[in-house]
Chains A and B, each alone.
Chain A
Amino acid sequence: MSQAEVHSIDALRDLRAALAVYGEDVLAALGAADAEIRRTVQWLQQDRPYFWQEQIKRRRERVATAKADLFRLRLQKTPEHHPSLAEPKERLRLAEAALQDAERRLMLTRKWQPALQQAVIEYHGAVQRLKDAASADVPRAMALLTRIVEALEAYLQVQPPDGRGSGIARATPEMESIARDVLDREAAPASPPAPEEAP
């Protein structure tokens, strides 16, 4: 027989508690990331196209105004009167640059919509294993530890540890067998239901 040793039931209880915290932390971290994804997707698909189309409209108007101002100043030019064109030219340059920036950002908004969806798909692929672990494997491991602890506690009810105090249980071959039985039952495939007998 192998020398199995379950030294401390308390250590198993602590491990079960740590698993519970781990599962909660994982789900919280993944939930926060999902919330950020939803927020950004909604912003990109619903807010940004409207925002940049409006900006383009406004900035076109500013360009038109700046052009009109410059045109008017040029008309005012006479041999005696030389109004400075530097400032209105600079205003026109800035207005055109702002319009180009808005047009570029509307294009980027459209470009990012499918690209973000693809990035989200890749992200979900990367976290799927962890999500499965936190939602199914970790609770299963906790349930298994619970069954082992309960089985060992039940055993110690009838077979107290020899002078070692409560909560601390040194492994005995019986305890090894109990823990292994629980693991064996967990590992065994579920047996199919027995066919109903014909009346």
Chain B
Amino acid sequence: MANAKVLAGATRLKQTIRILNDHWLLAEESWSDVVRRRFEDAHLAPLSPAVDAAVVGMQKLAEVLDQVRRDCSDRSELS
């Protein structure tokens, strides 16, 4: 099993970007104009790909940390 704390962080990232996007959709309903598009392009659009890359990185890290623990621990320490 991958490192639980790091995986929990990756899950938190996915949740928090979803919540932010939900708020943005609500704001969008009352703020749909050129200004909105400029704000979205400059400040919100780059966040989702950054979160996606970070989540992938955290999942890989979680696997590595777990593999290190399994390889370098005594069996008695893992039980």
Is A90 an interface position by the 8 A CB rule? no
Q: Which residues of chain B from 20 to 53 have any CB-CB distance to chain A below 8 Å in the complex?
A: 20, 23-24, 26-27, 29-35, 38-39, 42-44, 46-47, 49-51, 53
* Interface 0/1 of A69-91, CB less than 8 Å to B: 00000000000000000000000
Q: Which residues of chain A from 28 to 80 have any CB-CB distance to chain B below 8 Å in the complex?
A: 28-30, 32-33, 35-37, 40, 43-44, 48, 51-52, 55
CB atoms of A127 and B53 under 8 A apart: yes
Closest to B17 in A: A22
CB atoms of A133 and B47 under 8 A apart: yes
Q: Which residues of chain A from 162 to 190 have any CB-CB distance to chain B below 8 Å in the complex?
A: 171, 176, 179-180, 183, 187
CB atoms of B5 and A40 under 8 A apart: no
Choice from B8, B19, B51, B65 contacting A37 with Cβ under 8 Å: B65
A-B Cβ contacts below 8 A, count: 167
CB atoms of B33 and A171 under 8 A apart: yes
CB atoms of A137 and B60 under 8 A apart: no
How many of A's residues come within 8 Å of B, CB to CB? 62
Closest to A148 in B: B35
CB atoms of A7 and B30 under 8 A apart: yes
DSSP class of B's interface residues: helix, strand, loop or mixed?
helix
Q: Which residues of B contact A51 (CB under 8 A)?
A: 74
Q: Which residues of A contact B31 (CB under 8 A)?
A: 5-8, 11-12
A111 to chain B, nearest CB (A): 8
* Interface 0/1 of A118-137, CB less than 8 Å to B: 01101101110110010001
* Interface 0/1 of A4-17, CB less than 8 Å to B: 11111001101100
Q: Which residues of B contact A (CB under 8 A)?
A: 3, 5-6, 8-10, 12-13, 15-17, 19-20, 23-24, 26-27, 29-35, 38-39, 42-44, 46-47, 49-51, 53-54, 56-58, 60-61, 64-65, 68-69, 71-75
